[in-house]
Amino acid sequence: MTRDVKPLSKSRRETALAVAKADRRLKPFFAGRNRPVLVEPNLHDPQRPEASDVVVGLYDYDKGRSVVALVDPEAKRVVGVEETDAQFQLSDEERREAEELAARDERVTRFLGRRRANPLTRLYFPPGAARKKPHRYAIVFLRPTSSERRYAVVDLTAGKTVDVLDSLIG
């Protein structure tokens, strides 16, 4: 039997985050350059099929690591915490930050002129980045017209635009 899982309400999201923030194992992830990047319903737990837990994904920018926590908002407890090599998709907050950083770059403002950026922003893995200290990157597709493009590579860990590309094909 499948459950009808609905998106989290603002209240349920806030409750899950409050429970996670209160957990001693997660307190370090709510300080400094860390942030929750994922707060979603847990879609399937075969050991607890009727549970309505929430998955909270956190990213530590200083150490370049991701942590996932399973939160039971009703019991007001964190069921489990695991560090993972996974890179979660960008949060809405990270997308906005990347777009704001790109918009302040002079190469972007010169390209756009008075036109709107019409941005499309995604998580990005630059060539060679895996061999360096882990950073979290976004790429902002700047689309002022249907035929013109530029691509701003934003290092969210450093808080700056690191490159603006004319094309994605080198």
Instruction: Please check whether residues 80 and 99 belong to one and the same domain.
Output: no
Residue-range definition of the domain harbouring residue 53: 10-84
14 in a structural domain: yes
Alpha-carbon span 142 to 75, nearest angstrom: 45
Return the structure tokens found at 13.
């999201």
- Indicate the residue among 30, 62, 84 that finishes a domain: 84
- Indicate the residue among 36, 67, 84 that finishes a domain: 84
Return the structure tokens found at 56.
């909270």
Give how many domains the chain has, as a whole number.
Answer: 2
64 in a structural domain: yes
Encode pLDDT of 78-129 as tens digits. Answer: 999 999 988 899 999 999 999 999 999 999 999 999 999 999 999 999 887 7
Alpha-carbon span 159 to 147, nearest angstrom: 29
Grade residue 62 by pLDDT with cuts at 50, 70 and 90.
Answer: confident
